[in-house]
Amino acid sequence: MRLSGTSALVTGAASGLGAATAAALARAGATVYGLDLGPAIAAGPAAPVGVHLLTANVASELEVQGALDLIRNDGAKLRLVANCAGIAPSRRILSRQGPHDLALFEKVVQVNLIGTFNVLRSAASAMQAVDPDTSGQRGLIVNTASIAAFEGQIGQIAYSASKAGIVGMTITAARDLAQAGIRVMTIAPGLVDTPMVAGFSADVQAALAASVTFPQRLAQPAEFAKLVLMIAEHDYLNGEVVRMDGALRMASR
């Protein structure tokens, strides 16, 4: 898929993987619309050239549709979506605070899984209206899971359930959207050096880096963005989950 001259939507674009992906897509010549929550946009860095940041909660039907209407009214041809918005609170099933808060579990599933599906379904509907290229392709949707979908650690029950849901949707969505010429891929990152991880102490970060098989370091957000661009370029990749983890297999804690 050619990115130059097309439009892309990136969620979670005010920070971390989403910000790096939005910037990389803009450098590749796409007009990029980045979605994020208002406070995150206000607190984050200024949008790079070619990136328009819009306020929307990915879990809100109305707000995501509103953003897509705005993109359509701009005359943009949406061909790529990178779903990067996500949250990762940690809680054990049983702790001194009692059993895992059900509302917290619901919130994580609401943002990570339902938010991803909400953007996927509305964006697919917008992509359907775009002319196909010579191979019949209209668009690509790249979701972000986590290796916690496969090896969730203690305290990651809600997070790993939400990310496993994204993994499970991948082949089904690819099959479902094939008739519209839309590919669906998922990236499952290991440990990436973003604000989500920056909150850990230096010792914890060093221990995390040491746990990676090779290269023995955290991944950089730009490496995630590069993978999104590689997937966009490779039209035969579809319905698959790609681990980007330096062969890390998480231990139980």
- Which stretches of the chain bind ligand NAD, using CB under 6 A? 11-12, 14-18, 35-37, 40, 57-59, 84-88, 111, 115, 144, 146, 189, 191-192, 194-197
Which are the contacts of 170, defined by CB distance < 8 A and separation ≥ 6? 143, 184, 185, 186, 239, 240, 241
Q: In the structure encoding, which two tokens stand for residue 109, read together?
A: 């599933």
- The CB-of-163 to ligand NAD minimum distance in angstroms stands at 7
- The CB-of-214 to ligand NAD minimum distance in angstroms stands at 17
Which helix (H) or strand (E) segment is 197 a member of? helix 195-198
- Residue number, 238 or 245, with CB nearest to ligand NAD: 245
The answer to whether 8 touches 33, Cβ cutoff 8 Å, is yes
- Residue number, 129 or 230, with CB nearest to ligand NAD: 230
- Residue number, 37 or 47, with CB nearest to ligand NAD: 37
Whole-angstrom Cα distance, residue 130 to residue 79?
Answer: 8
- Residue number, 86 or 181, with CB nearest to ligand NAD: 86
- The CB-of-164 to ligand NAD minimum distance in angstroms stands at 12
Pick the catalytic residue from 33, 105, 159, 224: 159
- The CB-of-80 to ligand NAD minimum distance in angstroms stands at 17
- The CB-of-27 to ligand NAD minimum distance in angstroms stands at 18
| Strand extents, DSSP E, 73-231 | 78-83, 94-95, 98-99, 139-144, 182-189
Sign of CA dihedral 159, 57, 48, 198: negative
Whole-angstrom Cα distance, residue 98 to residue 111?
Answer: 24
Residue 236 annotated in active site = no
Q: Pick the closest to residue 14 from 33, 43, 41, 48 (CA basis).
A: 41
- Residue number, 128 or 153, with CB nearest to ligand NAD: 153
Q: In the structure encoding, which two tokens stand for residue 192, read together?
A: 């990436």
Which residues participate in catalysis according to the annotation? 159
